């Protein structure tokens, strides 16, 4: 038996259910990438070393905790536990959205929660129920990973669109006041900003769809191939995921922007200057 | 008239009564910070949280849709804010709004005639608005407001930053509107026009009649 055949056979023996297991030593080894990057950032005085360290620590803690929770939820497989996880995901996503959109007015938490909930639940259950055919409908092993991708990606689109719509309205304040003085409704005056914001939120997704498979192998497909799934099946899954992510981003961004743009206007459709905003 | 402030309502105009008759030009003069722009914005219903009573032809503002009111009582700011697009896009802007729905917008011939009437013969309808001078922009903005057919025109220092020719054209357009039966309130920083039908002085939030 040759050396390479022995190595292949050892790797195959180490696989668990087709997946090469990663132990604590390998995790620590992976941390070296962050240590090297952090040292480089420190040397270049980028001022991001602390954030990088915190982000890396959070990645460890959050993902390991999520893993432990998922082990329990998947084993337990009760509808209320799955719905509970979805609610936590939606609320956490709404919080992230508000942090990423500093120009957005206060009081948008409920809007973010509604946008994420409508989008996340509709797209997730449409995919798990109609495309994958999950049984039972709340099957944790199917619903939670799909919901994670839907909510996570939708969150990015919503945050980008919300940030842009308010920043764009502020930059068009003079134009909006002119339109209002000529009899425009809040929607008519805000419409160019809404269009700009939704385009900004959706273009990354469209670009990503266009480049998938040519420039990069998307994350889910990579994961499945690493887990030794059939690449064609992985490609089919990835197509479903990319289309559902695009739908979720579009729905989420449209809903969030439509529910929130009017906060820059008062009841009579007057554009509110910075000092007059509630 | 009050506006909301951090510690409750703040009085900005006190016991101001102003009657704008059809076919009259009223000049309001006063120092900076006297409340001249505030008065115009309040009359146009473009200032939030204002108390007081405004009527148009005996109809209270509160019983009219704000968009209808603003199309009838048109406010033109000191610095004309043209929107991105061509001169024609700007002149036709009001017809993009629901409040003018059902009304036929002026055709290209009418727009050309309007521009020629204010000595803008060399300005093509297709010219991008950002390539107009300040004086040309002011004339286009006033034309845009007038083409939409308001009953009352509220002008905020319309000729303060204009060259002589543009100021003259803006003054003539304003006078033509008045002669056709429109009512105009025009605020000015320095002095009232001798041709104004009525001249008022605004200071510390109070209006007073000026001697001719």
Give the pLDDT band (50/70/90) at residue A4: very low
Token digits of residue B122: 């060399």
Residue B55 phi, psi dihedral angles, 5° rounding: -130, 155
- Residue among B190, B191, B173 nearest B182 (CA): B173
% of residues, chain B, pLDDT over 90: 50
Does the pLDDT of residue B109 top 80, yes or no? yes
* B197 burial level (CB within 10 Å; 0-12, 13-18, 19+): middle
Shortest Cα distance, chain B CAs vs residue A177, angstroms:
8
Q: What is the structure's pLDDT at A181?
A: 93
From A174, A183, A269, residue closest to B81, measured CB to CB: A174
Q: What is the mean pLDDT of residues A248-253?
A: 90
Choose the closest CB to B66 out of A174, A268, A272: A268
Among candidates A175, A185, A270 on the partner chain, residue whose Cβ is nearest the Cβ of B46: A270
Question: Are residues A183 and B67 in contact, defined by beta-carbon separation less than 8 angstroms?
Answer: yes
Mean pLDDT of B161-167: 82
Mean pLDDT of B161-171: 84
| pLDDT at position B79 over 90 | no
Q: B186 near B25, Cβ under 8 Å? A: yes
More confident residue, A1 or B82: B82
pLDDT, one tens digit per residue, over A217-230 is 787 788 888 888 89
Kindly determine whether residue B148 and residue A183, on different chains, have CB atoms separated by under 8 Å. yes
CB–CB contact B81 A185 (8 Å) = no
CA B37, B117, B131, A168 dihedral sign is positive
Q: Dihedral (C-alpha) A252, A254, A260, A262: value to the nearest 10 degrees?
A: -170
**For position A124, what pLDDT does the model report?**
92
Separation between Cα atoms, residue B132 and residue B87, nearest integer Å: 9
* Number of C-beta neighbours around residue A69 at 10 A: 15
Q: Count the Cβ atoms, other than its own, within 10 Å of residue B184.
A: 22
Structural domains in chain B, CATH included, are 2-209 (3.40.50.300)
Say which residues have a Cβ less than 8 Å from residue B28's Cβ, sequence separation at least 6: B18, B36, B39, B185, B186, B187, B188, B200, B201, B202, B207
Give the H or E element holding residue B25. strand B25-29
- Inform me whether the pLDDT recorded for A147 exceeds 70: yes
Which of A176, A183, A267, A274 is the mutation pick for testing B, counting most B CBs within 10 A? A183
- Tokens representing residue B93 in the block: 């802007």
> Is residue A264 within 8 Å of A190, Cβ to Cβ?
yes
Residues of chain B with a CB closer than 8 angstroms to some CB in chain A: 4, 44-49, 66-68, 70-71, 74-77, 79, 81-84, 93-94, 96-100, 141, 144-145, 148
Comparison of pLDDT for A17 and B56, the residue scoring more: B56
Beta-strand (E) ranges in chain A?
none
- Binning pLDDT at 50, 70 and 90, where does residue A2 land? very low
For residue B98, what is the nearest residue in chain A, using CA coordinates? A184
Q: What is the mean pLDDT of the segment spanning A162-178?
A: 91
pLDDT given for residue A8 in this prediction = 42
Residue A17's pLDDT is 54
| Least CB–CB distance from A175: residue in B76, B83, B100 | B83
Indicate whether A10 pLDDT > 70. no
Residues A124 and A120: their CA atoms lie apart, in Å, by 6
Question: Cβ of A266 under 8 Å from any chain B Cβ?
Answer: yes
pLDDT number for residue A1: 41
pLDDT of residue B6: 64
Does residue A180 surpass a pLDDT of 80? yes
Judge whether residue A9 has pLDDT over 50.
no
Integer-rounded Cα Rg, in Å, for chain A is: 23
Helix (H) or strand (E) holding A97: helix A79-100
Residue whose tokens read 């009657």: B19
Phi–psi pair at A265, nearest 5 degrees: -120, 155
Q: What is residue B105's DSSP assignment?
A: P
DSSP symbol at A103: T
Give me A22's structure tokens.
């990663």
- The interface predicted TM-score (ipTM) is 0.89
Mean pLDDT computed over B30-37: 84
**pLDDT (tens digit per residue) in A90-127:** 999 999 998 888 777 777 888 999 999 999 999 999 98
Residue to mutate among B83, B144, B151, with most A CBs inside 10 A, is B83
B64: pLDDT strictly greater than 60:
yes
Chain B touched by A188 (CB under 8 Å): yes
Per-residue pLDDT at B5 exceeds 90: no
Chain A residues with beta carbon closer than 8 angstroms to that of B67: 183-185, 269
């Amino acid at each position: 038996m040759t050396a390479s055949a022995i190595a292949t056979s050892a790797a195959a023996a180490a696989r668990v259910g087709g997946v090469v297991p990663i132990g604590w030593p390998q995790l620590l080894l992976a941390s070296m990438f962050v240590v090297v990057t952090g040292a480089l950032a420190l040397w270049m005085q980028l001022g991001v070393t602390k954030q990088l360290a915190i982000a890396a620590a959070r990645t460890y803690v959050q993902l390991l905790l999520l893993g432990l929770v998922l082990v329990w939820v998947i084993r337990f497989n009760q509808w209320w536990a799955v719905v509970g996880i979805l609610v936590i995901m939606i609320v956490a996503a709404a919080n992230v959205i508000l942090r990423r959109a500093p120009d957005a007015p206060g009081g948008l938490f409920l809007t973010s929660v509604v946008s994420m909930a409508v989008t996340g639940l509709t797209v997730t259950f449409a995919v798990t129920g109609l495309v994958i055919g999950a049984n039972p409908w709340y099957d944790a092993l199917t619903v939670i990973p799909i919901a994670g991708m839907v909510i996570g990606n939708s969150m990015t689109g919503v945050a980008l669109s919300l940030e842009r719509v308010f920043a764009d309205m502020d930059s068009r304040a003079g134009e909006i006041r002119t339109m209002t003085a000529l009899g425009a409704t809040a929607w008519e005056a805000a419409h160019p900003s809404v269009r700009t914001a939704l385009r900004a939120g959706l273009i990354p997704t469209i670009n990503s769809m266009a480049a998938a498979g040519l420039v990069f192998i998307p994350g889910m497909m990579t994961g499945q191939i690493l887990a030794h799934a059939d690449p064609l099946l992985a490609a089919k899954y990835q197509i479903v995921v990319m289309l559902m992510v695009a739908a979720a981003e579009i729905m989420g961004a449209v809903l969030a922007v439509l529910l929130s743009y009017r906060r820059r206007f008062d009841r009579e459709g007057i554009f509110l200057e910075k000092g007059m905003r509630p | 008239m009050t506006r909301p402030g951090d510690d409750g309502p703040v009085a900005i105009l006190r016991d101001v009564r102003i009657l704008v008759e059809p076919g009259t030009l009223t000049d309001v003069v006063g120092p900076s910070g006297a409340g001249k722009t505030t008065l115009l914005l309040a009359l146009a219903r473009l200032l939030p949280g204002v108390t007081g009573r405004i009527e148009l032809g005996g109809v209270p503002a509160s019983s009219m849709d704000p968009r209808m009111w603003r199309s009838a009582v048109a406010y033109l700011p000191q610095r004309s804010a043209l929107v991105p697009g061509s001169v024609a896009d700007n002149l036709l802007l009001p017809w993009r709004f629901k409040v003018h729905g059902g009304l036929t917008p002026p055709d290209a011939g009418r727009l050309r005639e309007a521009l020629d009437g204010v000595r803008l013969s060399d300005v093509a309808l297709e010219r991008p608005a950002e390539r107009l001078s300040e004086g040309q922009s002011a004339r286009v903005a006033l034309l845009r407001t007038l083409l939409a057919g308001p009953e009352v025109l509220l002008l905020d220092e319309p000729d303060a930053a204009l060259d002589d020719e543009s100021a003259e054209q803006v003054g003539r357009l304003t006078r033509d509107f008045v002669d056709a039966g429109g009512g105009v309130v025009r605020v000015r920083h320095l002095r009232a026009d001798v041709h104004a039908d009525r001249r008022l002085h605004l200071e510390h939030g109070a209006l007073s009649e000026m001697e001719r």
